[in-house]
């Protein structure tokens, strides 16, 4: 399984390619509040799953969000 940073880079690229720069900026602003890896991953997964519920973008982005969530689950990181 890929590390969370690799998955996040792909998510960021996908969001930029789809013109979601303001959403990406909102994600980055939200992430600043969390310092440990576990908190950061938990908060990021929560934000991404909320985004996924209210957004309808290409399958690649949705799959990447699911991959990130799977990374968290496999590593015992619970969503906030």
Quick check: is 79 in a domain? no
Domain count, the chain: 1
The answer to the question of residue 80 being in a domain is: no
Q: Within a domain: residue 51? A: yes
Q: Which two tokens mark 14?
A: 């996908």
Which pLDDT band, with edges at 50, 70 and 90, does 16 fall under?
Answer: very high
Is 27 among the domain residues? yes
Q: What is the pLDDT of residues 44-72, one digit of tens each?
A: 999 999 998 887 778 899 999 999 999 99
Instruction: Render pLDDT for 23-40 as a digit per residue (tens, 0 to 9).
Output: 999 999 999 999 898 999
Asked if the structure places residue 45 within a domain, the reply is yes
Check whether 1 has a pLDDT greater than 90.
no
Domain assignment present for residue 14? The answer is yes
Q: How far is CA 63 from CA 33, 34, 36, 51, 58, in A?
A: 25, 24, 25, 13, 9
Q: Is the pTM of this model over 0.85?
A: yes
* CB within 8 Å of 80: residues ≥ 6 apart: 42, 43, 46
* Domain limits for position 48: 4-74
């Amino acid at each position: 399984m890929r590390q969370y940073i690799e998955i996040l880079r792909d998510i960021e690229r996908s969001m930029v390619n789809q013109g979601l720069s303001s959403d990406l900026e909102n994600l980055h602003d939200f992430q600043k509040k969390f310092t440990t890896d576990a908190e950061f991953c938990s908060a990021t997964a929560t934000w991404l799953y909320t985004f996924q519920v209210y957004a309808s973008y290409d399958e690649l982005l949705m799959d990447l969000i699911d991959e990130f969530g799977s990374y968290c689950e496999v590593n015992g990181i619970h969503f906030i």
